[in-house]
Amino acid sequence: MHKLLSLKLRSQSGASSTSEFVPALFILVVLFILPMLNLMPIALGAGFTYLVSHQAASRAAGQSSYAEALLEAEKEVQAFNGSAWSKLLQMSPVGGYMTNGFDLYTDETLTSGAGTTTSYGPNTPMTVTPNQLANIYEYKVRCTYSISPFVNLSNLPFIGSVPGIGQPYIMSMVAHKAVEIPESLSGINNAIAFTGGVIPFQLDGMAGSNTPGLFTGPGPGLWNRPSIYQTAEDAGRTILDSDVLLVDARNKGWQSSNMAVATGNQIMIDYYASGMWSNGIDAASGLPRRTDADGEVGRTAFMGYPIGSMIGRLEPPTGGTPSYLKLGKQVWSIPVGNSTSNLKMALNEGSGPQLLPTNGPSIYDDNAGFMVVRILIAQ
Amino acid sequence: MSSIYTATTRNQSGNLTVLTVVFLIAIILPILFFGLSYLKIMASYQGQKSAIDVASLSVAQDLGTIVIEDANVGFISLSDFAPNGSATLATDGYPLTVRSINSLLATTRLELILADKLTDPILVNCANADYNRVMTAKTALVTALQAAVAPGGSAMDKDGNIIRPYDKALNAYNAVNIKKMVDGTTNIKANSLTIELGYVEDLVTNMPIPRPAVYAELSSADQEGGFYKSGRNIPYQGKAFVFAAGGNSAALVDFRRYKSTIAGLPYQIPTVVCCRAEQVYNETDAISGSRVRSVTATSCARPACLVDTKPKAGLFGISGGVPLNMTPYPGNFYQLLTHIDLYNCPADAVYTPINDDYPISSTALIAVPELSNRKHPPFGHLMRLAFFDWLRKAGPCINVSSMFTAMQAPADFTAVASTTAMSIDRNGVFTIVAVPFDPLRAIPASHKQLYAVTGGAFPSANGAFDVFLKDQVRNLGRVNGGKHGGEPLANIQANSATTSVSNRFDENVSGLGTAPNGPGGTTIRPSYTATDAIAVELKFRERTLPPLNYTP
């Protein structure tokens, strides 16, 4: 019996510690483990609150207008608010734009001096014109969440009213991001236009001048025939030589062009008078007798060509027959010959220019002005 | 009784120990072994991933340094480089600028926009010609990049160093110690490293869109943060523009988003590096003995594409003093460029110096392809052509609004002792400046560039003005761009050499200076740092009446 009884009874040692274990465990769990468990969501929540603030600021910074920035930041925050992490951590947005728990500000910081920062917002664009030379601009996003305790200990005495343990903890984080398109700040609530730029002028200063490489109209200008080269090329001619000369109306000799002309060549000429091209003074009016290269109508001189007209000749042969280089006659086919000759030009007056001018007065002395002459030798 | 109790009860000691041991052997240990094996596999994969990441970054870094030479646009790359590469020397002994393909594309796109908005068919012709040139260059660059990343492939950088992206990537891969967590041996499977170029859609480049954005002519989705997106067609006027992916530095991108091609693109310009390698593990362990497994790892990286955002276009200058009797007298660059009398002069000659700069070298008459292949186009058209070339040289980072403002800003063209010029600063902002003009150190006409003259364009009291146009930035690169490769000229020296060259329309030959030759090597081109380098010069030179050779 004694043995039987001894089998049924267990040792009483440790009974007192066992009886203390339950309250000790209760205290440990309630006062330490559960509060510590509740602190974990706060730590995680802090990280997520900053992360979503940063993400929203980054999204806003790349937008082309404040309106778009606000919209994109909202999308970013909403995506987090609906995520599993938000649900797991029992994070609820507090206030903010459209009660999504965030506010968007525009921070303007002076780059000089004390670097004072002015904050515009929340959720409204800047009210001043941005000055990028003097300031830097950042979007600032402030996210605020209420993080409920993982285990609700609100009914416990003493700790039941502690935020994060017995009551929701209000967490707020701020993130900044430099505005990537500063122009967006000036477009208050208007998206940047990526199209439709207006040009204030046209480079084609003359109507009809815009066929590349070509004169397409007579056009105003000093030259009478600016398309002289084009005419030659369009006629299938090869331009052998060209030059622009100044032919003095006072020259009583022939002015050499130093341009060689050979049999079969054609000479093409254009002129303009430099202010005046006159063949003396009109006795009646006392004014210069001004003409163009065609000369005076109805008055002739050397070779029967009009007075004041441009005439030309080829030398050799010396004393070759001069031609009337009439402005209206653009293409001048030279006389038949076998040699290469030098083209010479002069104003036509009296008995014509001298072959070998000598010192002394002449009929050319009271002339004035000069012609600017473009000469083409073509074939 | 005592014996009964003894028989029906067993000894309590040790039972739990046995159970624990069995439990450990049967359950815990396999789990432990599995965990350890899994850990080893994961660790070795991470080592392999790290190796393939290093390899792809290595290739991406190399890609951005590869430079090729194109006959029409000069040296091109994925990056912009300042003119300091020893392998980019022009025949003048100074290096040439290297332009990135994105810079060329962005510039051409801006050219088309401006040409279209200015409704100027001359500029449209120029922009279209540039587009064709850039497309050819793009194809050549893509071919070169793909050849370079192939096994055994190579290319050169701006200093002439041979780059072997494949070999370097393989070395980089092998340099990473994957064996740390492997019991046994592990090696990359022979020839398993593949390098491919492709895309990750919508990667943002570092190439800025036109400024202000209103002149960008694109949709908001085509850009991000004021930079073009890569891998998508951003057309203008029917011309396709696809920008290459790249950033300020090589960086890993999500390989799961990698694509070899993007369907629907008008042309491919793949630059995202995708590296794959198969690693063979010969492992032994106490349980399964020896075994062989292989794992393929993939990594993608975007290349480094440096952007030179500082325009080095030189000056667009007016020298010699505009004739005072020019009517109406131009008060700004816009009025000068569109002056009716200047337009209405035919070019008497459009030259190009054939062997060296003029007047050291003689010249040849040329036709201008963009001007209907004419040899004597309206001078106004040549001025617009030169203006276009200058803008092209400035690149894509100019401020368009600033250009319009500067063209209409008051400018004094009467000065004879200075060159009145438009300048572009580092922010792309245009300003009017005056730089001293030395009649004995006037800029020569660059070898193989455009040199035009119209004679007697404006009368004066004692003669007439000839107008000379030097477009030093018409033809780009070492092949077509001649001695200076289409770079502006700076640091002009007086010309001591006697020249025998004579044109019908000589420009006071003795007054034309010479551009000094460089020392070779990596000495930076002077025009890159100078503030008075001239890209385009419109020069007015008065010619007086020849004296009468007799006394009246």
Distance CA A284, CA A297 (A): 17
**Quick one: pLDDT at residue A188?**
47
Cβ distance B372 to A212 less than 8 Å, yes or no, reads: yes
Cβ distance A255 to B374 less than 8 Å, yes or no, reads: no
Closest-CA residue of B relative to A376 is B348
Of the candidates A192, A198, A212, which has its C-beta nearest B121's C-beta? A212
Domain assignment present for B18: no
- Is a pLDDT exceeding 70 seen at residue B503? no
Examine the domain organization and report whether B292 and B420 are in the same domain. no
- Is a pLDDT exceeding 70 seen at residue B8? no
Range among A260-269, A291-300, B95-104 rated most confident: B95-104
Cβ distance A229 to B346 less than 8 Å, yes or no, reads: yes
- Is a pLDDT exceeding 90 seen at residue A53? yes
Handedness of CA B400, B402, B405, B407 (dihedral sign): negative
Average pLDDT on A340-355 reads: 88
How close B242 gets to chain A, by Cα (Å)? 18
Of the candidates A62, A212, A219, which has its C-beta nearest B370's C-beta? A212
Examine the domain organization and report whether B508 and B434 are in the same domain. yes
Cβ distance A246 to B550 less than 8 Å, yes or no, reads: no
Percentage of residues of chain B with pLDDT beyond 70: 92
- Label residue B181 by pLDDT band (50, 70, 90): low
Percentage of residues of chain A with pLDDT beyond 90: 30
Which residues of chain B are within 8 Å of residue A191 when distances are taken between CB atoms?
220
Closest CA to A195 of B117, B405, B202, B119: B117
Of the candidates B225, B381, B549, which has its C-beta nearest A213's C-beta? B381
- The 10s digit of each residue's pLDDT in B246-265 is 998 898 888 989 999 999 99
Best A183, A185, A190, A203 member to test B by mutation, with max B CBs in 10 Å, is: A203
Domain assignment present for B149: yes
- Cβ atoms of A367 and A250 within 8 Å: the answer is yes
Q: What is the domain count for chain B?
A: 2
Average pLDDT on B143-149 reads: 97
Which residues of chain A are within 8 Å of residue B380 when distances are taken between CB atoms?
205-206, 209
Examine the domain organization and report whether B241 and B336 are in the same domain. no
Of the candidates A196, A219, A220, which has its C-beta nearest B214's C-beta? A196
Cβ distance B226 to A181 less than 8 Å, yes or no, reads: yes
Q: What angle do CA B37, B181, B255 make, to 5 degrees?
A: 90
- Label residue B1 by pLDDT band (50, 70, 90): very low
Average pLDDT on A247-265 reads: 88
How close B88 gets to chain A, by Cα (Å)? 34
Closest-CA residue of B relative to A234 is B374
Closest-CA residue of B relative to A60 is B225
Contacts of A363 (CB under 8 A, 6+ apart): A252, A280, A349, A350
Which residues of chain B are within 8 Å of residue A361 when distances are taken between CB atoms?
552
* Residue after which a domain boundary falls, among B244, B279, B302: B302
Cβ distance B209 to A194 less than 8 Å, yes or no, reads: yes
Contacts of A227 (CB under 8 A, 6+ apart): A214, A215, B346
Contacts of B282 (CB under 8 A, 6+ apart): B184, B185, B186, B290, B291, B292
Closest-CA residue of B relative to A181 is B225
Domain assignment present for B6: no
- Is a pLDDT exceeding 70 seen at residue A305? yes
**Quick one: pLDDT at residue B552?**
64
Which residues of chain B are within 8 Å of residue A356 when distances are taken between CB atoms?
none
Write the single-letter amino acid at A257.
Answer: S
Examine the domain organization and report whether B320 and B269 are in the same domain. no
Examine the domain organization and report whether B340 and B486 are in the same domain. yes
Cβ distance B224 to A62 less than 8 Å, yes or no, reads: yes
Average pLDDT on A2-15 reads: 52
- Cβ atoms of A67 and A104 within 8 Å: the answer is no
- The 10s digit of each residue's pLDDT in B389-400 is 999 999 999 999
* Chain mean position to CA B114: 20
Distance CA A143, CA B24 (A): 50
Distance CA B379, CA B365 (A): 15
Phi, psi of A357 (to 5 degrees): -65, 140
Closest CA to B368 of B40, B136, B125, B135: B125
Burial A239-278 (b: 16+ CB within 10 A, else e): bebbbbbbbbbbbbbbbebebebeeebbbbbbbbbbeebb
Of the candidates B2, B371, B552, which has its C-beta nearest A365's C-beta? B552
- Cβ atoms of B394 and B430 within 8 Å: the answer is no
**Quick one: pLDDT at residue B26?**
74
- Label residue A132 by pLDDT band (50, 70, 90): confident
**Quick one: pLDDT at residue B274?**
97
How close A219 gets to chain B, by Cα (Å)? 7
Examine the domain organization and report whether B407 and B476 are in the same domain. yes
Average pLDDT on B66-73 reads: 96
Of the candidates A192, A203, A230, which has its C-beta nearest B384's C-beta? A203
Cβ distance A194 to B404 less than 8 Å, yes or no, reads: no
Cβ distance A197 to B215 less than 8 Å, yes or no, reads: yes
Best A2, A133, A190, A194 member to test B by mutation, with max B CBs in 10 Å, is: A194
Strand (E) positions, B255-394? 258-259, 272-285, 289-302, 315-319, 349-353, 363-365
- Label residue A246 by pLDDT band (50, 70, 90): very high
Q: Which residue has the tokens 């003119």?
A: B83
Best A204, A255, A276 member to test B by mutation, with max B CBs in 10 Å, is: A204
Cβ distance A213 to B1 less than 8 Å, yes or no, reads: no
Average pLDDT on A296-304 reads: 91
Cβ distance B378 to A365 less than 8 Å, yes or no, reads: no
**Quick one: pLDDT at residue A1?**
45
Average pLDDT on A111-117 reads: 83
How many A×B Cβ pairs under 8 Å? 218
How close B475 gets to chain A, by Cα (Å)? 18
**Quick one: pLDDT at residue B190?**
92
Cβ distance B550 to A253 less than 8 Å, yes or no, reads: yes
- Label residue B368 by pLDDT band (50, 70, 90): very high
How close B480 gets to chain A, by Cα (Å)? 22
Percentage of residues of chain A with pLDDT beyond 70: 87
Examine the domain organization and report whether B193 and B64 are in the same domain. yes
Examine the domain organization and report whether B403 and B483 are in the same domain. yes
Average pLDDT on B85-104 reads: 96
- Is a pLDDT exceeding 80 seen at residue B305? yes
Average pLDDT on B108-114 reads: 96
- Label residue B440 by pLDDT band (50, 70, 90): confident
- Is a pLDDT exceeding 60 seen at residue A333? yes
Cβ distance B220 to A250 less than 8 Å, yes or no, reads: no
What is the extent of the structural domain holding B440?
A: 315-543
Burial B320-334 (b: 16+ CB within 10 A, else e): bbbbeebeeebebbb
> Which tokens belong to B150?
């192939």
Average pLDDT on A339-359 reads: 87
Phi, psi of B288 (to 5 degrees): -95, -5
Q: Which position has the higher pLDDT, B304 or B29?
A: B304
Examine the domain organization and report whether B271 and B322 are in the same domain. no
**Quick one: pLDDT at residue B350?**
95
ipTM value, please give it: 0.85
Domain assignment present for B507: yes
* Residue after which a domain boundary falls, among B247, B276, B302: B302
Of the candidates B120, B349, B375, which has its C-beta nearest A210's C-beta? B120
Closest-CA residue of B relative to A195 is B217
As a whole number, the mean pLDDT across chain B is 89
Residue A354 burial (CB count, 10 A): 15
Domain assignment present for B14: no
Average pLDDT on B292-302 reads: 92
Write the single-letter amino acid at A153.
Answer: L
Cβ distance A229 to B404 less than 8 Å, yes or no, reads: no
Distance CA B212, CA A375 (A): 48
How close A155 gets to chain B, by Cα (Å)? 42
Closest CA to A169 of A139, A137, A200, A145: A145
- Cβ atoms of B50 and B176 within 8 Å: the answer is yes
**Quick one: pLDDT at residue B450?**
97
Domain assignment present for B230: yes
Kindly give the pairing relationship between strand B98-100 and strand B74-77. Answer: parallel
* Residue after which a domain boundary falls, among B302, B325, B352: B302
Which residues of chain B are within 8 Å of residue A343 when distances are taken between CB atoms?
none
- Is a pLDDT exceeding 80 seen at residue B183? no
- Is a pLDDT exceeding 60 seen at residue A9? no
- Is a pLDDT exceeding 50 seen at residue A5? no
Q: Name which of A125-139, B115-129, B364-378, B469-483 the model is least confident about.
A: A125-139
Give whole-number Cα distances, A32 to A25, A37, A81, B196, in Å.
Answer: 10, 8, 30, 57
**Quick one: pLDDT at residue A337?**
54
Q: Which residue has the tokens 């908001």?
A: B220
- Cβ atoms of B58 and B168 within 8 Å: the answer is yes
Examine the domain organization and report whether B285 and B322 are in the same domain. no
Q: Name which of A266-280, B344-358, B475-489 the model is least confident about.
A: A266-280
Closest-CA residue of B relative to A202 is B118
**Quick one: pLDDT at residue B57?**
95
Distance CA B98, CA B103 (A): 10
Average pLDDT on B77-100 reads: 95
**Quick one: pLDDT at residue A63?**
81
Give start and end residues of each alpha helix (H) in B64-179: 101-117, 121-149, 165-175
Domain assignment present for B62: yes
Examine the domain organization and report whether B81 and B197 are in the same domain. yes
- Label residue A19 by pLDDT band (50, 70, 90): low
Domain assignment present for B111: yes
Average pLDDT on B164-186 reads: 84
- Label residue B107 by pLDDT band (50, 70, 90): very high
**Quick one: pLDDT at residue A15?**
52
Distance CA B69, CA B73 (A): 8
Examine the domain organization and report whether B321 and B279 are in the same domain. no
Cβ distance A248 to B552 less than 8 Å, yes or no, reads: no
- Label residue B230 by pLDDT band (50, 70, 90): very high
Give start and end residues of each alpha helix (H) in chain A: 2-8, 15-27, 34-61, 66-81, 84-88, 183-186, 228-234
**Quick one: pLDDT at residue B504?**
74
